[in-house]
């Protein structure tokens, strides 16, 4: 049985707890969140009774640590010496935190880091073609409601309330996108970690009439062109696609299963 600590008890953390609660291969031993009410809410949805403890204790006592909080928490987990132990596994939802802390990631010698493909398709092909990629473009379109409170929009005082059509609000590199849209651009971080491409171009559009979180990837190289498009319905949190949760559940099944599909 795999013991699990979940860091972050919002929508994603709670949904993953519900899945783990039904799978006999896992046992949840700890829940961590800065909001005690979230911990209580997550606990009410499962029959297991994991402890509420510090981040360090949660990392120390579990075989598998699931981050479902934010990119800053990823840094805190990577910095904890209890993480880098033989047999430990770390599942990261806020993959932007890995991109911002690659020096800490490279120091890990024993811990296995798992990154769900999230809300896009085709990471397997992009990973296979990594050494031959010449350009990589991510175009993301989201409803106004999921973008209106992002740091980039607030800092630049961009008014999205009166948009009448799909409008580009950002174009830049991946690091700028992660900083400006930390909860919206984990798909871009996944692309970087799969490809190693340091010149990923990101475009973000706000659309007042869409209900989908849409991600389009165009990857060119000596192999030809890879194009993918996913139109995702949001989860209960409008900033997160439901597919991201399903992807994390698939990763958990892969961790516990005998058949590994790369």
Q: 214 near 141, Cβ under 8 Å?
A: yes
Distance CA 12, CA 238 (A): 12
Distance in Å from the first CA to the final CA of the chain: 23
Distance CA 31, CA 42 (A): 8
Distance CA 64, CA 77 (A): 12
Distance CA 243, CA 230 (A): 9
Q: 46 near 17, Cβ under 8 Å?
A: yes
Q: How far is CA 68 from the centre of its chain?
A: 8
Locate 224 and state its tokens: 């030809």
Locate 56 and state its tokens: 């360090």
The answer for residues whose C-beta is within 8 angstroms of residue 12's C-beta and 6 or more apart is: 68, 93, 235, 237, 240, 244, 245, 248
242 counts as catalytic: no
Q: What are phi and psi of 59, to 5 degrees?
A: -70, -40
Q: Which of 24, 47, 56, 215 is catalytic?
A: 215
Q: What's the Cα-to-Cα distance from 129 to each of 124, 125, 220, rounded to whole Å?
A: 9, 6, 9
Residue numbers annotated as active site: 215
């Amino acid at each position: 049985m795999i013991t699990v600590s979940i860091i972050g008890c919002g929508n994603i953390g709670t949904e993953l707890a519900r899945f783990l609660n039904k799978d006999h291969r896992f046992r949840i031993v700890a829940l961590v969140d800065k909001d005690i009410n979230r911990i209580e809410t997550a606990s009410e949805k499962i029959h297991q009774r994991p402890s509420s403890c510090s981040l360090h204790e949660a990392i120390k006592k579990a075989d598998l640590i699931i981050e479902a909080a934010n990119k800053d928490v990823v840094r805190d987990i990577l910095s904890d010496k209890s993480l880098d132990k033989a047999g430990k596994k770390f599942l990261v939802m806020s993959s932007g935190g890995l991109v911002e802390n690659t020096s800490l990631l490279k120091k890990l010698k024993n811990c296995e880091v798992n990154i769900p493909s999230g809300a896009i398709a085709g990471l397997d092909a992009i990973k296979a073609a990594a050494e031959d990629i010449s350009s990589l473009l991510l175009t993301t379109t989201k409803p106004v409601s999921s973008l209106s409170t992002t740091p980039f929009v607030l800092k630049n005082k961009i008014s999205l309330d009166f948009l009448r059509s799909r409008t580009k609000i950002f174009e830049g590199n991946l690091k700028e996108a992660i900083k400006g849209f930390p909860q919206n651009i984990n798909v871009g971080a996944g692309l970087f970690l799969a490809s190693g491409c340091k010149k990923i171009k990101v475009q973000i559009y706000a659309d007042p009439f869409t209900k989908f979180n849409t991600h389009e990837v165009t990857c060119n190289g000596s192999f030809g062109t890879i194009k993918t498009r996913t139109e995702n319905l949001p989860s209960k949190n409008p900033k997160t696609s439901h597919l991201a949760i399903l992807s994390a559940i698939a990763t958990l099944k892969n961790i516990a299963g005998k058949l590994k599909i790369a």
